[in-house]
Amino acid sequence: MSIATIESLDHEGRGVTHVGGKTVFIEGGLPGERVEYEVQRSRPNYEQATAVRILRSSAQRVEPRCAHFGVCGGCSMQHLDPLAQAAAKQRILEDALWHIGKLRPAIIYPAVNGPAWGYRYRARLGVRLVPSKGGLRIGFHERRSSYIVDMRECPVLPAGISALLPRLREMIAGLSIADRLPQVEIAIGDDTTVFVFRNLQPFSRADEKRIAAFAAAEGIQAWMQPGGPDTAIPFDPSAERALHYTLPEFDVRMDFRPTDFTQVNVHINRLLIRRAMQLLAPRAGERIADLFCGLGNFSLPIARLGARVIGVEGSDALVARALDNARRNGLDSLTEFHAANLFEATEDSLAALGPLDKMLIDPPREGAIAVAKALGGEHSPARIVYVSCNPATLARDAAVLVREKGYVLRGAGIANMFPQTSHVESVALFERG
Q: How many CB atoms lie within 10 A of CB 48?
A: 16
For residue 162, give the nearest of 210, 115, 125 by alpha carbon: 125
Q: What is the DSSP letter of 372?
A: H
Active site residues: 389
Q: Is 297 annotated as a binding residue?
A: yes
- Sign, Cα dihedral of 143, 149, 155, 156: positive
195 is in an annotated binding site: no
75 annotated as ligand-binding: yes
To the question of whether residue 293 is assigned a binding role by annotation, the answer is no
Please say whether the dihedral angle defined by the alpha carbons of residues 379, 336, 307 and 429, taken in this order, is positive or negative.
Answer: negative
- Residue pair 222/212 in contact (Cβ under 8 Å)? The answer is yes
- 395 touches 103 (CB < 8 A): yes
Q: Is 190 assigned a ligand-binding role in the annotation?
A: no
Helix (H) or strand (E) holding 211: helix 205-218
Give residues with Cβ within 8 angstroms of 427, minimum separation 6: 109, 272, 275, 276, 279, 385, 386, 387, 388, 412, 413, 415
390: which DSSP letter?
Answer: -
Residues comprising the binding site? 66, 72, 75, 154, 263, 292, 297, 313, 341, 362
Residues comprising the binding site for S-adenosyl-L-methionine? 263, 292, 297, 313, 341, 362
Residues comprising the binding site for [4Fe-4S] cluster? 66, 72, 75, 154
